[in-house]
Every structure is written in C-alpha cells, then in structure tokens.
Amino acid sequence: THFGFQSVSEEEKENKVYEVFENVATKYDLMNDAMSAGVHRLWKDMFLERFSPTPGTKLLDVAGGTGDIAFRFLKYVGTPVGSTFSSSASVAQSSSDDSSSSDSEGTQVENKDSFSEPDINGSHVTVCDINQAMLDVGKAKAKSMGYSSGISWVKGNAEVLPLPDNTFDAYTIAFGIRNCTHVQKVIDEAYRVLKPGGRFMCLEFSEVKNPLLRSVYDSYSFQVIPVMGQVIAGDWKSYQYLVESIRQFPNQETFAAMIKSAGFRFVNYKNLTFGVAAIHSGFKI
C-alpha cells in the first residue's frame, strides 16, 4: 500500500496507529464531520438507537477516543449534565488527572474501581483508549459539557484490557477495532469483561457490495479524504492510513463469524448507508 501497512511488523503497525491518533487528536472531531459530511453523527445516533441502553447500564466503550459514544450513551440513559451530587470518586474521575496511577507496564488506570462506582441513575460509562491525547480531548469535552459523574477514563489496549472479568453490562467499540492489530483478541477481551447476558456492539466501516456504489465510494475515499486531511489537519498520511485500514478490515460476514467464534450468541449485523458502515451485535450468554 502507499503507506506500507501490509509489509510492516505488528509492532510497527501499533506504533503507527498510535502516531496517527496522536497527530489527529485535536482535529479529530472536525475531520470526522468534514469527511463524512456529518453522517458519522447519524451513524452514531443509529448505533445508540439499536443498542437502546436502559438506565443502570454499566458500559465499557473501547477505543472511545474523544467520547462520542460515551456522551450519546449518557444522554440516552438520562444522566443529568452538570450534576454536583456525584460521589467523590466519580468527581475525581472526570475532573483531573490526580487520581491516576500506573501499573508496572505503564498502563494508566484512573480510580481502579471507578467502573463499579454507583452513579446518580446507576448508569456509568468507562471510556478506554490506548491514546492519551484522544482521552484528553474527550475529558476536556466532558468538562465543557458539564458531566461530573457517570463517566471515567482508562488508558489501555483493547487487546489486553486492564479491567476485570465479568464486569460490564455492555461493550461498545466504534470505528476503533480496525485500528487494532489482532481483531480476534479484541473480541475475546470483550467477551471476558462482559457479564453473562452482556452485549457486544461494534460500529465499523464495512463493505459496499454494489459495484457502482463501490467505485464511487472508492474514488471519494482514495482521492478526496487524504486531500481533506492535508487541508484541514495538515496531515495527508494519517488520513491515507485511515482509508487503507477500512479496506483491509474483514467484511460483514467474516467479522460476524469472528464474533461468533469468541463465544457470542445471537450475532447479527445491520448495514448503514449501503454497507459503508455496519453495526454488529452479539450476546454473552
């Protein structure tokens, strides 16, 4: 590929992905809007609709980046904005880095038990991402939106989550799994941290099967997106990588089979915008 991704080692891919998101973090939201003409917002709304979480849900949002899914979740379950009545632990979670600690591998975990802290309506989202720059943008957004409870931030790798077994009611990952080196490991980890009965949900770019639509989509992706990356974020290569990573990701059926092989049941998917993106779902029974 132009970016040489197919020939690089796994470690190099991991470093490259880290660098990409480090580079784009502050422009990430703006670029998403520009590249998709705002459609990513609709997809994320549809993702939440399909998920339909109930108040009391303990969610883990992996590769959560700047918090788009987390904030939609809190809104959906009705967690009040600007609440001042949260527990001291959850205030610390969203307001500062003071509560951070590092383990021997340098994995940063804020308030190790925060994901089990009760919140005002029992709902809680733990945002996990490998990239501190993305989490920092998310934290600043949480602050400006007035969320002082219901959300915590954990720096960690989706392939080896720094979180205990059987902990969460739901696991979401949106536009994140294709950036991971070992996709099956990510799904296996999702299975591990979910409680029995818990739900796995993934929103990811997928395969456009219609040949005509596919060629239009390909031209747009390969010719327009890197140019936009250059103009808006001053970064051609990162956006070229994003396009290539989309093409290399397993299609709807292959990905559904991977979810099943991790042990999930009732696995299904729904295409969005002719398969440009898809929502996959499965349950740990």
List residues forming the annotated binding site for S-adenosyl-L-methionine: 66, 129, 157-158
* Residue of the chain from 23, 57, 60, 65 that contacts ligand SAM (CB under 6 A): 65
Under the binding rule (CB under 6 A), the answer on residue 245 touching ligand SAM is no
Find out whether 171 and 200 touch, Cβ atoms under 8 Å: yes
Among 31, 60, 180, 262, binds ligand SAM (CB under 6 A): 180
Q: Which residues line the annotated binding site?
A: 66, 129, 157-158
| Position 68 contacts ligand SAM (CB under 6 A) | yes
Q: Please pick, from the candidates 117, 129, 189, 235, the single residue that binds ligand SAM as defined by CB under 6 A.
A: 129
Selected from 79, 90, 94, 157, the binder of ligand SAM by CB under 6 A is 157
Angle of helix 132-145 relative to helix 68-77, nearest 10 degrees, comes to 30
Q: Nearest to ligand SAM by Cβ — which residue?
A: 65
| Shortest distance (Å) from residue 54 CB to ligand SAM | 22
Asked whether position 279 contacts ligand SAM by CB under 6 A, the answer is: no
Residue 63 interacts with ligand SAM (CB under 6 A)?
yes
Query: CB of residue 210 vs ligand SAM: minimum separation in angstroms?
Result: 25
Q: Is 176 in the site for ligand SAM (CB under 6 A)?
A: yes
Q: Does 204 bind ligand SAM (CB under 6 A)?
A: no
Q: Compute how many residues bind ligand SAM; rule: CB under 6 A.
A: 20
Stretch that binds ligand SAM, among 96-104, 106-114, 174-182, 224-232 (CB under 6 A): 174-182
* Residues near ligand SAM, by CB under 6 A: 17, 21, 62-65, 68-69, 129-131, 134, 157-159, 174-176, 179-180
